[in-house]
Amino acid sequence: MNLRENIDRIKQMMGLNENVFLRRRINTEVLDSIFNEQLSHWISHVKEDMSRRNIENLPPPVFGNMIHAVISWVMDELHPELISGREDFPYDEIFQSLIDRYFNQMEQAYNDNFGG
């Protein structure tokens, strides 16, 4: 294992794997609140859609679709704060850091609601 891999491993263990750009602009409590709101919204939307279709054997939604939708909605909410005064920002890096931060919560919510 090289030095960079060791640093990344230690940062992940300590919860420091978040994007610095994001961490400097968004309070973690606000970020968590936005995430929880969007996750709840996605779950409610999917359950309503499944109920409306009234199909008993409908397969559960794809977990990857959940990740993409929820994190995209979080990014939409954060966009004004992230762009403030800038023409560009590290969108892909922030998107991935949000996936890394919330993956376990999304996986648990998916399993709890759709029996994954």
Check residue 27 and report its DSSP letter: -
Q: How confident is the model at residue 27 (pLDDT cuts 50, 70, 90)?
A: confident
What is the total count of domains within the chain?
A: 1
Question: Could you give the CA distance from residue 64 to residue 24 in angstroms, rounded to a whole number?
Answer: 28
User: pTM to 2 decimals?
Assistant: 0.75
Residue-level pLDDT at 43: 94
Q: 100 vs 14, which has greater pLDDT? A: 100
Residue-level pLDDT at 49: 84
Residue 41 inside a domain? The answer is yes
Question: Could you give the CA distance from residue 33 to residue 2 in angstroms, rounded to a whole number?
Answer: 37
Residue 82 inside a domain? The answer is yes
Q: 9 vs 112, which has greater pLDDT? A: 112
| Segments forming the whole domain that contains residue 103 | 18-114
Residue 8 inside a domain? The answer is no
Residue 5 inside a domain? The answer is no
Tell me the DSSP string of 30-85.
HHHHHHHHHHHHHHHHHHHHHHHHT-TTPPPPPHHHHHHHHHHHHHHHHHHHHHTT
3-state secondary structure 80-108: HHHHCCCCCCCHHHHHHHHHHHHHHHHHH
Q: Identify whether the C-beta of residue 47 lies closer than 8 Å to the C-beta of residue 113.
A: yes
The residue type of 100 is D
Residue 71 inside a domain? The answer is yes
Residue 100 inside a domain? The answer is yes
Residue 68 inside a domain? The answer is yes
pLDDT in tens, 48-104: 888 887 766 667 778 899 999 999 999 999 888 777 766 677 888 888 988 988 999
Percent with pLDDT over 70 in the chain: 72
Question: Could you give the CA distance from residue 27 to residue 22 in angstroms, rounded to a whole number?
Answer: 9
Residue 109 inside a domain? The answer is yes
